Amino acid sequence: MIETARLFARYNAHVNTEMNKVLSTLAAEDWTKDRGGHFSSFQSMAGHIYTADVHWMVRFTGLRPFQAVKGDPFDFPPSWDKPPFGAVAEYAGLRRTLDQAIEAFTQELTEADMKAPLAYRNSRGDAFTKNFGGLVFHMFNHQTHHRGMVALYLDQMGVKNDFSNLNAIVES
């Protein structure tokens, strides 16, 4: 289970980097243009993914302290109200730092962690207790789901965007 979490951490870092290369080619107005979805712009979608990841990482410290989940942005997680960045370049830098922390976090995981229950509250304050390992995989799946929406927006614009290939990082 731990090796799968580490693979997903590497995959997400790789795919986020590749996606951000594509996003960085867009005109500034395309970054914020309403595209009709629940997270209506690239900026709001990226903000949601980033904010959710930070909040999940902070929740994970409810199991035990993790060295990778210290300092900025974890000490003061971003608000759900608006993206914690303006331009694509600012997002790409914050995302890269967060992805490095996520990869470091997976290096700290133990099999006991992955099997343990985690009690936490969601953003509405509802209480849950669920399998820690399952929640780690949920965080990665959540990213994948929303990057699919980014790909759809890019498809609608006619922008080539084949950035989500897990096969690109699978070793032989």
Mean pLDDT, residues 115-119 taken together? 98
Tell me the whole-structure pTM to 2 decimals.
0.94
Where does the pLDDT of residue 169 fall: very low under 50, low under 70, confident under 90, or very high at 90 and above? Answer: confident
Q: What is the pLDDT of residues 52-74, one digit of tens each?
A: 999 999 999 999 999 999 999 99
Q: Which two tokens stand for residue 88?
A: 């694509």
User: What is the SS3 string spanning 112-158?
Assistant: HHHHCEEEEECCCCCEEEEEHHHHHHHHHHHHHHHHHHHHHHHHHHC
Contact 105, 68 (CB under 8 A): yes
Domain 2-168: top CATH class:
mainly alpha
Spell out the domain ranges in the chain. Answer: 2-168
- Residue 166's pLDDT is what? 80
71: left (phi over 0), alpha (psi -120 to 50) or beta: left
Q: Which two tokens stand for residue 19?
A: 């996606």
| pLDDT value at 150 more than 90 | yes
Mean pLDDT of the chain: 94
